[in-house]
Chain A
Amino acid sequence: MASTTDSPPPFNLSTSGPRPPLFDGYDPDGFFDEMFEADGSVRNHYRKLLHNFKTLSHPDLDTKRRAVDALFLRQGVTFNVYGDSQGTERVFPFDLMPRIIPRHEWEHLEAGLIQRITALNLFLHDIYHEQRILKDGVVPPFYVLSAKHFRREFVNFNVPGDIYIHICGTDLIRGADGTYMVLEDNARCPSGVSYVLENRRAMKRTFSDLFESVGVRSVSSYPADLLNVLRHIAPAGVSDPTVVILTPGPYNSAYFEHASLARQMGIEIVEGRDLVVRDQAVCMRTTKGLRPVHVIYRRIDDDFLDPSVFRSDSALGVAGLVHSYRAGRVSLANSIGTGVADDKVMYYFVPRIIKYYLDQDPIIPNVPTYLASEDKDRAYILDHLGELVVKSANEAGGYGMLMGPQSTAAERASFRERILADPRSYIAQPVVSLSRHPTFVEDNPRALEGRHIDLRPFILYGEKVTVIPGGLTRVALRRGSLVVNSSQGGGSKDTWVLHNGD
């Protein structure tokens, strides 16, 4: 491995010599480690960071960590705890040790993500129009027609600009050999981007000197890019559209994000009760009377958007909204019915979808997946429940999952019944040994330990497709845990994409 003259000398854990005390006893432990090669030497793109951390003392780090915690608490960078109406808010735990992605690696990921969202949008357009892919037998029609989020009502409806998924959060993981794989696509209401922005702000405040020397790409254009995407889909003839973000309200877990994005874009954050439809136009109730709204970035589920069309008991939606949408008076991001694309059964077909529409091989592979509704796969799943991760096709946030190796016999029996009763709703995947990253852990303030991580980049599809350089790196803070969701005790890290690098 060539080292340039201005770089610090290679640091090798396995040899004697000066080692930063923080890494005393650090052991990649057979997992793919983001920072260290298998032989214990530090990967090139982490060298400057390591060098800098060497000069930090424990008290320095403690001070920095406390400063960031206090900052997040003070700024209310929190998420609400599900099922707790008492207003309990928690700070999403933040780890000071950043995750670094070198330039060439990022370019590969970026190309793969753009390929994926392009194909998914073509797929959605097709299944809501000619359904060629179903007629050609590439995806069995049964799976699409039975998808929970397939909206028959929108067949033959033309969405503005032919874009269905404007905002996508695709979860990526790295397996034992370091290969990036797609774990799932979140194409309805992906959340987390506000933490990307807040984490960066906190890191810049805490390690201001480090950013310049390491050469980190900025994430700060996200709100402006998002606003451009939203303005791009304005109804025809509206040159200066009024754009709003529609939130379920302050009791939703992601309310902080909704408010923070609204503030950074300079648009109104509205609840359903602030909106009303008059003469096909969606209007918001202002102190000066009703004012038309042209584009809605909605953060509520399809089912709740309009009680006159979908669930009649929705207290969050706006009666008449869908009618206005159909009349082309208001645009929605994401479009109605995009949930088909992130049905976990559809995920299985994404490589074929890419091949079908783009005539390309997928740049980022899927995790091997078994469909419970295929006889052969189901037999395999039922025989190997103790080794597999079983997922419900339409749940998010780590709910409705069986982690085979950690499961009890009773849990496996329960999943067996559920799978047999409704095979369409389940998939299974082998347990992937997610890559690990040095992380500060609660009970050991003096050293770093390896913790499993994933990565959620955010992709925007408007006039062009852009990917925020970085994304949300989630980290499973519990030792040995593979579950990174905030609702399951996960935390996050700042993700640095380098300007340069090898």
Chain B
Amino acid sequence: MLSRVANSLYWMSRYIERADNTARLVDVSLQLSLDLQHFDEHTLDSHWLPVVQSAGDETLFSALHPIPTSDAVIEFLVFQTENTNSILSSVMLARENARMVRDQIPNEFWEELNRLYLFLRSAGARASFRSDPTQFFQEIKASALHLQGITHATVVRNEGWRFIQAGKYIERADKTSRILDVRHAAFPARGAPGAITQAGALEWAAVLRSCSAWDAYQALHGAEILPAHVADLLLLSEDFPRSVRFSVQQLNTALRRISGVGDESFSNDAEKLSGRLLAELFYGTTDEIFDQGLHTYIDALQTKLNTIGEALFRTYILHAFQQIEDDQIRQQEEQQQQ
């Protein structure tokens, strides 16, 4: 497989996963804001700003929106193209990458991604968002699921598939950790959070809902919400498909299938680092995590995921990578197709 193609498949997949996760996060936060009583300016800040911070984009946000109203946050996270992590930007970038590798992806996949893109760029998108935001986010989530379904059902299990999987799961591990971290201002620096208030319970439930983990949680632990259980499910569960451990397991498998190296060994830094992270998640406990502080742990986890992504890039992509310059774009346009 061409290195450039591998790169595009990987990022296409990451961006779709990113759009999906952002849609989940904004949707649940929006619903939660409706549950919060006494919604003054202060609670507004403390409700929405963490959502922006969880994506690591607060500097850009305050530059674009000096006054952090909920409308501003939603605009920033959903439609604003200046924010390269907004839902619209993610879908545009996913489509741009897909366009580069159209010959490698099923037609149905391209059609669906293109449909989502055209919908989000249309005037109807904003109208739909205003009249029924839940339905609007449902549309995006359903489209992301549709895309994953088409991928699962129709893509040949070749190298391209493995780059798609690697992109999807590294993004998901990162985003699940960020969603869990969204209330970190309320966490104690070290140790497990103590008794939680009713409002706190609503927020932890929102975290679970953002990861579509509410049903899984209830099946395991009943209706009582304990932060330790939430963290355990979202970070360490072996079986829950949106947990960090599950995602890293899938990432690790994809990386090893790409090189053909077995689990007992490794052939490059990406495999070494993902294998090590998987072992940490495998042998780790929530007690240990809360001992060092949940936020500190998640911060370190995100750094490790970034390092794996960089190692993957160095191993498979870098030698073919070259930034497109303006004169190259001009020459591409100028070629006469008769």
A residues whose Cβ falls under 8 Å from a Cβ of B: 73-76, 80, 82-83, 85, 87, 169, 186, 188-191, 248-257, 259-260, 262-263, 268-271, 273-274, 284-288, 299-301, 304, 313-316, 342, 395-397
Q: CB-nearest residue of chain B relative to A244?
A: B2
Please indicate the chain B residues that have their CB under 8 angstroms from the CB of A299 in the complex. 335, 337
Given A248-B331, A287-B316, A397-B338, 6 more pairs with CB closer than 8 A: A189-B337, A268-B2, A270-B2, A287-B258, A299-B337, A304-B335
Interface presence of B322 (CB below 8 A):
yes
Q: What are 28 A-B pairs at a CB distance below 8 A?
A: A80-B333, A85-B330, A85-B333, A87-B96, A186-B338, A189-B335, A189-B336, A189-B337, A248-B333, A249-B332, A250-B96, A250-B100, A259-B103, A260-B102, A260-B103, A269-B103, A270-B2, A273-B320, A274-B3, A285-B3, A285-B320, A286-B1, A299-B335, A299-B337, A300-B335, A314-B331, A396-B337, A397-B337
Q: A259-B102, A263-B102, A263-B103 are in contact. Are A287 and B6 (CB under 8 A)?
A: yes
List, in ascending order, chain A residues with CB within 8 A of B114's CB. Answer: 73-76
Task: Tell me, yes or no, whether B229 is within 8 Å of chain A by CB.
Answer: no
Q: Decide: B2 and A286 in contact? CB cutoff 8 A.
A: yes
The reply to whether B332 and A287 contact each other, CB–CB distance below 8 Å, is no
Return chain B residues, CB-CB under 8 Å to A254.
337
B159 part of interface (Cβ distance < 8 Å): yes
Q: Would A273 and B327 be within 8 Å (CB), given that A262-B103, A287-B159 are in contact?
A: no
Residues of B close to A188: CB separation below 8 A: 336, 338
Tell me, in angstroms, the Cα distance from A80 to B325 when the chains sit together. 18
Which residues 289-338 in B have Cβ within 8 Å of A in the complex? 316-317, 319-320, 322, 324-333, 335-338
A190 CA to B335 CA in the complex, in Å? 12
Across-interface contacts of B110 in A (CB, < 8 A): 75-76
Please tell me if B107 contacts chain A, counting CB pairs below 8 Å: yes
Write out the residue numbers on chain A whose beta carbons fall within 8 Å of the beta carbon of B103. 259-260, 262-263, 268-269
Whether B331 and A75, one on each chain, are in contact in the complex, defined by CB atoms closer than 8 angstroms, is: no
**Shortest distance in angstroms between A263's beta carbon and chain B's nearest beta carbon?**
4
Q: Which of B99, B104, B335 contacts A252 (CB 8 A)?
A: B335
**Structural contact, A397 and B336, CB atoms closer than 8 A:** yes
Whole-angstrom CA separation of A263 from B337 in the bound complex: 19
B268: min CB distance to chain A, Å? 11
Q: How far is the CB of A295 from chain B (nearest CB, A)?
A: 16
Q: How far is the CB of A87 from chain B (nearest CB, A)?
A: 8
Min distance, Cβ B261 to any Cβ of chain A, angstroms = 13
Q: Main SS of the interface on chain A?
A: loop
Q: Is the CB of B331 within 8 A of A315?
A: yes
Report if A287-B1 is in contact (Cβ < 8 Å); known contacts: A75-B114, A260-B102: yes
In the complex the two chains form, what is the Cα distance from A190 to B327 in whole Å? Answer: 24
Closest CB-CB distance, B332 to chain A, in whole Å? 4
A315 is contacted by which of B111, B159, B328, B338 (Cβ under 8 Å)? B328
Which chain A positions have C-beta within 8 A of B333?
Answer: 80, 82-83, 85, 248, 251-253
Q: Is B338 a contact of A190 with CB atoms below 8 Å? A: yes
Smallest beta-carbon distance A253→chain B, Å: 6
The contact string, 1 if C-beta is below 8 Å from chain A, for chain B 1-28, is 1111110000000000000000000000
Chain B 89-119 interface 0/1 with A at a Cβ cutoff of 8 Å (1 = within): 0000000100110111001001100110010
A316: min CB distance to chain B, Å: 5
Measured between beta carbons, the chain A residues less than 8 angstroms from B107 are 75
**Could you say which residues of chain B place their CB within 8 Å of the CB of A249?**
324, 328-329, 332
Are A316 and B338 closer than 8 Å at their CB atoms? Answer: no
B2 close to A284 (CB less than 8 A)? yes
- How close is B324's CB to chain A, nearest CB, in angstroms? 8
- Which of A76, A85, A273, A314 has the largest count of B CB atoms less than 10 A from its CB? A76
**In the complex, what's the smallest C-beta–C-beta distance from A204 to chain B, in angstroms?**
15
Q: How far is the CA of A301 from the CA of B331 in the complex (A)?
A: 10
> Of all chain B residues, which has the CB nearest A289?
B319
Q: Which residues of A have CB within 8 Å of B320?
A: 273-274, 285
Q: Which residue of B lies closest to A315 (CB)?
A: B328
- The reply to whether A169 and B338 form a contact with Cβ atoms under 8 Å apart is yes
For the complex, give the distance between the alpha carbons of A189 and B328 in Å. 19
| CB-CB nearest 6 A-B residue pairs | A263-B103, A186-B338, A254-B337, A191-B337, A315-B328, A285-B320
Does A251 contact B329, Cβ atoms closer than 8 Å?
yes
Q: How far apart are the CA atoms of A300 and B335 in the complex, in Å? A: 6
Q: Tell me how far the C-beta of A19 lies from the nearest C-beta in chain B, rounded to whole angstroms.
A: 39
Q: Kindly report which residue of chain A lies nearest to residue B160, judged by CB atoms.
A: A287
- Per a CB cutoff under 8 Å, which of A252, A268, A269 touches B332? A252
Contact of A250 among B104, B326, B332 (CB under 8 A): B332
Chain B residues with CB below 8 A from A85, complex form: 326, 329-330, 333
CA A342 – CA B3 in complex, angstroms?
A: 37
Mark contacts of B111-146 with chain A using CB atoms, 8 A cut-off: 1 yes-contact digit, 0 otherwise: 100110010000000000000000000000000000
Q: Known contacts A259-B103, A268-B2, A285-B3; decide if A74 and B332 are in contact (CB<8 Å).
A: no
Pair A273/B336 contact, Cβ less than 8 Å? no
- The residue among B3, B96, B316, B326 with the most chain A CB atoms within 10 A of its own CB is B3
With both chains docked as a complex, state the minimum distance between the C-beta of B102 and any C-beta of chain A, in angstroms: 4
Q: Write out the residue numbers on chain A whose beta carbons fall within 8 Å of the beta carbon of B337.
A: 189-191, 252-254, 257, 299, 396-397
In the assembled complex, how far is the CB of residue A205 from the closest CB belonging to chain B, in whole angstroms?
13
Contacts of B329 in A (CB 8 A): 85, 249, 251
Shortest distance in angstroms between A262's beta carbon and chain B's nearest beta carbon?
4
Looking at B4, B111, B336, the one whose CB has the most chain A CB atoms below 10 A away is B336
A455 smallest CB distance to B (angstroms): 15
Rounded to whole Å, the gap between the CB of B338 and the closest CB of chain A is 4
Q: Which of B146-190 contact A (CB under 8 A)?
A: 159
The residue on B at minimum CB distance from A288 is B1
In the bound complex, residues from chain B placing their C-beta under 8 Å from that of A300 are: 335
**Complex interface: chain A residues within 8 A of B335 (CB):** 189, 248, 252, 299-301, 304, 316
From known contacts A74-B111, A75-B111, A285-B319, infer whether A191 and B332 are also in contact, taking CB-CB under 8 Å.
no
Residues in A neighbouring B332, C-beta threshold 8 A: 248-252, 316
Cα distance A313–B326 when bound, in Å?
A: 13
Q: Which residues of B contact A273 (CB under 8 A)?
A: 4, 320, 322
Contact A274 B338, CB 8 Å, known A251-B329, A251-B332: no
Q: Report the bound CA distance from A342 to B118 in whole Å.
A: 40
CA distance A89 to B330 in the complex (A): 16
Taken together as a complex, chains A and B put the C-alpha atoms of A75 and B98 apart, in Å, by 12
**A82 vs B334: C-alpha distance when bound (angstroms):** 8
